[in-house]
Structure 1
């Protein structure tokens, strides 16, 4: 999975919204009004585009909730998640 771009979905306390950022970048790839809008079917895949990627999804408190891989066919078979 090392060849996949890595992203994180985090809560922005200042703007009270959710931000998808490519790891290592300060710029938002995309912003969402709420977490439900960001994680509903197909939205993250569309935000990542054709190249896909791996998205770590955080809770409001900053702890990681889950990780998703797009497209699913590139998900490592041996992962526990």
Structure 2
């Protein structure tokens, strides 16, 4: 599934935090805090070698990590 897995998003939803696969309406899981949702979502993205997106309370992406085939790799080749 490397590189083909759907990205994982942690998003605010109705006073809770949802872990959602991109393109899905239904949340994989709901959590009372963003930190708890991140603790569930990040390992799921890592296991599937997918992108991970952490959204803020305004819904905008706060942090992004790539665990698979990075579509925007660093340009410097140190």
Superposition TM-score, scaled by structure 2 size: 0.68
- Report the CA distance shift for 1:11/1:4 in structure 2 as closer, same or farther (over 3 A): same
Q: How many residues align?
A: 73
Tell me how far 1:65 sits from its aligned partner.
0.3
Of structures 1 and 2, the larger Rg is shown by 2
Asked if residue 26 in structure 1 is aligned to residue 21 in structure 2, the reply is no
Higher strand share: 1
Structure 1 counterpart of 2:50: 53
After alignment, is 56-65 or 3-12 more displaced? 3-12
Task: Decide which of 41, 51, 55 is 1:44's aligned counterpart.
Answer: 41
Q: Which runs of 5+ in 1 are unaligned?
A: none
Instruction: Give the gaps of 5 or more residues in structure 2.
Output: none
Distance 2:46 2:64 in 1: 17
Distance 1:58 1:45, change over 3 A: closer
Kindly tell me: are residues 50 and 23 of structure 1, through their superposed partners in 2, closer, same or farther at Cα, counting changes over 3 Å? same
**Runs of 4+ residues deviating >6 angstroms:** none
Q: How many Å apart are 1:8 and its aligned residue?
A: 1.5
